[in-house]
A and B are shown apart, each in its own frame.
Chain A
Amino acid sequence: MLKKKLVMIGNGMAGVRAIEEILQANPDMFDITIFGAEKYPNYNRIMLSPVLAGDTTVEDIILNDEQWYADNGITLHMGKRIKEIQRGYKKVIAEDGTEAEYDNLIIATGSDPFIIPVPGHDKDGVMAFRDIDDCDKMFAAAKKYKKAAVIGGGLLGLEAAKGLLNLGMEATVIHDQATLMNMQLDSVAGEMLRADLEEQGMHFKVSTLTTEVMGDKRVSGLKFKDGSSLDCDLLIMAVGIRPNMALAKDSGIYCNRGIVVNDYMQTVTDPAIYSVGECAEHRGIAYGLVAPLFEQAKVLAYQITGQGLKAYQGSVVSTKLKVSGVDVFSAGDFMGGPGADVLELMDRVGGVYKKLVLEDDKIKGVVMFGDTADGPTFFQWMQDGKDVSEQRSSLLFSASGLGDSGHSGIDLVSAMADDTIVCGCNGVSKKDVVDAIMTKGLTTRKEVTSCTKAAGSCGGCADLVDQLLASTLGTAFVESDHEPICGCTDLNHEQVKEQIKTKKLTMVREVMNVLEWKGEGCQVCRPAINYYIGMLFPEDSEDDRSSRIANEKMHANIQKDGTFSVIPRIYGGETTPDDLIRIATVAKKYDVPTVKITGGQRIDLLGVKKEDLTAMWKDLDMPSGFAYGKALRTVKTCVGSKWCRFGTQDSTSLGIHLEKRLDRIWFPAKVKFGVSGCPRNCAEATIKDIGIVGVEGGWEISTGGNGGVHVVATELLCIVETAEEVEEVSKAYLQHYRETGRHNERTAPWQKRVGLDSIKALVVDDLESRKALVARMDAYIATQDQDPWAARVADAEKEQLNKFSEYKRIDIPVRVEA
């Protein structure tokens, strides 16, 4: 197949990104030729400031080295400026005479720095800060000269001033507005930034217009409109950029503020010619930030490779920056005019300022200074139009604001929605990062950057990426590699499980012998081993009661005085008068001192003597509630659509059904369900291991919640239509938990450790895997065919004293005649 010829003028970030997207979409479609005016391959222009500041080197900011162009069969002409586009012949001609024909042409000429045409602007020592050459000039100047002035108090100007400061020069920033970075910050944040930078040694002249550059051949000073002046021997102009469109204009392509393109990034004049990046004007806007440009690149690639129509709709931009070491974030309409609904938090000592502008309980704009961790979340909510009235009082303290879990960065990122954008520059979502970490086994930020591009452009999200790394593999990384189960062994949970499986060990004692246990095991490792054996070989192993803790051994909860408590199953919390009478009769007969309604909609008989247990179970004739075990505890339900005027689903029936299906299963730790019939969620389902909430036409299943010491809200697993699907997904989720959970690890930390995404993949998305999990769960359930209380009663009646005789009392005389 004859390849089409694609030529690109410009070798910068937006253009090369478009080429990358094209190669990804269809690597064999084009013969690609790129002309770049600079003598470098594509580099990260945003990182010029760190280069200037000496934090990194030119080599380190190269995004695509020459090898990359070679590997992808791209003809690269560096240092060749195109002087003419001959649209009639479909070819471009460079200043040195090099020609190239095209079928499609991309103009990605970017922008030029704007030099204010004040008198004297052409003197030596007056320059812009735009490319690697400018950096080199500044390095050279800093060796000879002392006093630098920077016109422009935007991001670039401040970064340039900071760089010069680092190079040992004095630096004064002249800004025509009162507020620094007035496009991104309000006056309060601008003031804080200024104070911070002044502390670092930077000088400022704000609300000041420059009228003349003084000096003979070289700049020697500046004159201002108010009559004052400033000595300087280096002047950086950083007042903005202008789309570089001269070439396009000369070729008869329609230009306004930039090269005008349609929603598919085609020039409106010539459909064979595209434009992308800072030179392109879309719906009246020429973007200067990286994120929208990369979005444009994607759309361009989609269109040019013929994948169909995907329109660029324009971008809502947020700014998350590190200005000379200070974090700032802003998005939307953050000024908030008179009468606006504004939330503000100001901590002058801590250097933190946050401001949200609301309208109809929705976020309209946000400015943050010092602590920007919540920025992406707020931005996401702003785009989603989320109603924030409920979080209003705590919003500025923490977006996730849940109990004790809201304050550390790691918790914050785990509370972030999957589709929240972590890296705004490259449009990388939390899910992209987490998936890459999980599937490719990444452990460093550098690896994440090379895989996903997150933190590869402005680096403003580097902390977030670090936190995601920590929260995604933190515990897995540390614990699975190092932490043994307990002092009795050097092996961790996963290693022990693996050994039991491969060596087919079916007895606790055998496991401890083969795996060279130190001593006879303890209350931590023995129950764990017993659980793993039972989980792996449900049919070929016998429960080791001597490795059960007291509660599970006795099928009752031991109390502080050595008595026990008895809790029968009350499925779904729904009972009958007959059952209540029976419970009451038993309580009276055995003189039960306390009868208590539990938090899980059941009845607890407390203070039962050990020797009364079997007799009570027999009289009760109700299933064991497993309140003593690492098993299914309660399935809390609301009355649902059967009675409630708000109910949309029959939550009680579903709860009872689930509890009956799952009531005799051993898990790594206890498991609680909540089933609510409508989003009012009266069953408090969202702090349970599995929370099911009825919605119109279906059920929302969310998982990994916990209402204990660390309150954790469930995360949405999926939405299904029928009760059968709820059962299937719940079974698959719980079987996956049984197989991969560590003994004594609740679903909340487990889900956090293995990652909701990986769980979703196996339990929800991959139907084969879901089916297999359900089948294994069903096979296991089939082995648990007898209620433990009924079994003990039957044993007692058969007088199998060798087995459960410890329930029976023995009395001996205190004094015996010798």
Chain B
Amino acid sequence: MGNATAAWIEVCKLDEIPPSQARTVNAGDTVIAVFRLTDDRVKAIENRCPHKHGPLAEGIISGDDILCPLHNWRIHLDDGVVAAPDEGCVKTYPVKVEDGQVFLSL
């Protein structure tokens, strides 16, 4: 992250996120979903589907995509872009794992 202002915030241990699942982090009024992928990489996006505001953290992870639990919209976790034929975008957050600890940057 080249951004000088980026400050890493400790969130939780990687082990505290169930494998191939997610958990939510509250930052004020914003809820962020932190996903632990099959290969233990982590991704973070806003926990709010652009369609009907479904809680993305409860969806099924498919590769690097998340499927919204309400109406199965498919959202790419890297850039937050919704897959066709649907349209939209979700805010993404920088996230990293160091020594089994998950860090997030707002």
Contact = CB atoms under 8 A, between A and B. Distances in A.
A195 interface: no
Interface string B73-96: 000000000000000000000000
B40 to A, nearest CB: 13
B60 A522 contact: yes
Contacts of A523: 59-60, 62, 67, 72
Contacts of A554: 58
Given A509-B38, A805-B17, A546 B25 contact: no
Given A546-B19, A806-B17, A520 B63 contact: yes
A520 B16 contact: no
Nearest to B58: A550
Contact of B18 (A549, A550, A561, A804): A804
A484 B54 CA distance: 28
B30 to A, nearest CB: 8
Nearest to A564: B58
A708 interface: no
A578 interface: no
B42 interface: no
Interface string B10-49: 0110011111111111111010000000100000000100
Residue among B11, B47, B58, B67 facing the most chain A CB atoms (10 A cut-off): B58
Contacts of B25: 810-812
A671 B5 CA distance: 55
A559 to B, nearest CB: 9
A644 to B, nearest CB: 42
A108 to B, nearest CB: 68
A801 B16 contact: yes
B21 A806 contact: yes
A520 B55 CA distance: 21
A553 interface: yes
Contacts of B18: 545-546, 802-806
A781 B30 CA distance: 43
Interface string A477-516: 0000000000000000000000000000000010000000
Contacts of B30: 814
A554 B19 CA distance: 15
A818 B23 contact: no
A523 B106 CA distance: 30
A408 to B, nearest CB: 30
B65 to A, nearest CB: 8
A153 B57 CA distance: 77
A558 B70 contact: yes
Contacts of A521: 60, 62
B55 A813 contact: no
A816 interface: yes
A802 B106 contact: no
A562 interface: yes
A308 to B, nearest CB: 65
A818 B58 CA distance: 32
Contact of B27 (A547, A801, A803, A814): A814
Contacts of A548: 60
Given A562-B53, A810-B26, A522 B58 contact: no
A519 interface: yes
A551 B9 CA distance: 31
Nearest to A488: B62
B24 to A, nearest CB: 7
B23 A810 contact: yes
A636 interface: no
B10 to A, nearest CB: 8
A560 interface: yes
Interface residues of B, number: 40
A231 to B, nearest CB: 72
Given A560-B52, A562-B55, A810-B24, A802 B16 contact: yes
Given A810-B26, A812-B27, A801 B15 contact: yes
Given A522-B60, A562-B54, A812-B27, A546 B69 contact: no
A519 to B, nearest CB: 6
Contacts of B72: 522-523
B77 to A, nearest CB: 12
A549 B69 contact: yes
Contact of A802 (B15, B27, B52, B63): B15
Residue among B59, B65, B69 facing the most chain A CB atoms (10 A cut-off): B69
B57 A806 contact: yes
A523 B65 CA distance: 12
Interface in A255-290: none
Nearest to B74: A522
Contacts of A560: 52, 70
Given A523-B72, A802-B18, A547 B26 contact: no
Contacts of B58: 550, 553-554, 558, 562
A527 B62 CA distance: 12
A263 B59 CA distance: 73
Residue among B18, B26, B72 facing the most chain A CB atoms (10 A cut-off): B18
A814 B16 CA distance: 21
A731 interface: no
Contact of B60 (A509, A546, A802): A546
Contacts of B24: 610, 806, 809-810
A630 interface: no
B106 A520 contact: no
Interface string A171-200: 000000000000000000000000000000
A355 interface: no
Given A812-B104, A818-B7, A805 B60 contact: no
Contacts of A664: none
B9 A813 contact: yes
Interface string A540-570: 0000011111110110001011100000000
A546 B106 CA distance: 27
A519 B63 CA distance: 7
A808 B28 CA distance: 16
Contacts of B28: 814
B47 to A, nearest CB: 8
Nearest to A814: B28
Contacts of B65: 520
A672 interface: no
A809 B26 contact: yes
Given A547-B60, A558-B55, A558-B70, A810 B20 contact: no
B23 A805 contact: yes
B67 to A, nearest CB: 5
Contacts of A808: 23
Nearest to B67: A523
Contacts of A806: 17-18, 21-24, 57
A808 B18 CA distance: 12
A17 interface: no
Contacts of A736: none
B42 to A, nearest CB: 14
A98 B30 CA distance: 105
A356 to B, nearest CB: 48
Contacts of A520: 38, 61-63, 65
Given A520-B62, A522-B67, A546 B5 contact: no
Contacts of A817: 7
A33 B35 CA distance: 85
12 contacts: A521-B62, A522-B67, A522-B72, A523-B59, A523-B60, A523-B62, A545-B21, A546-B61, A550-B55, A805-B18, A810-B25, A813-B9
Interface of A: 509, 519-523, 526-527, 545-551, 553-554, 558, 560-562, 610, 801-806, 808-814, 816-818
Enumerate the 8 nearest inter-chain pairs by beta-carbon distance, A residue then B residue, closest first: A546-B20, A550-B69, A520-B63, A550-B58, A562-B55, A814-B28, A806-B23, A520-B62
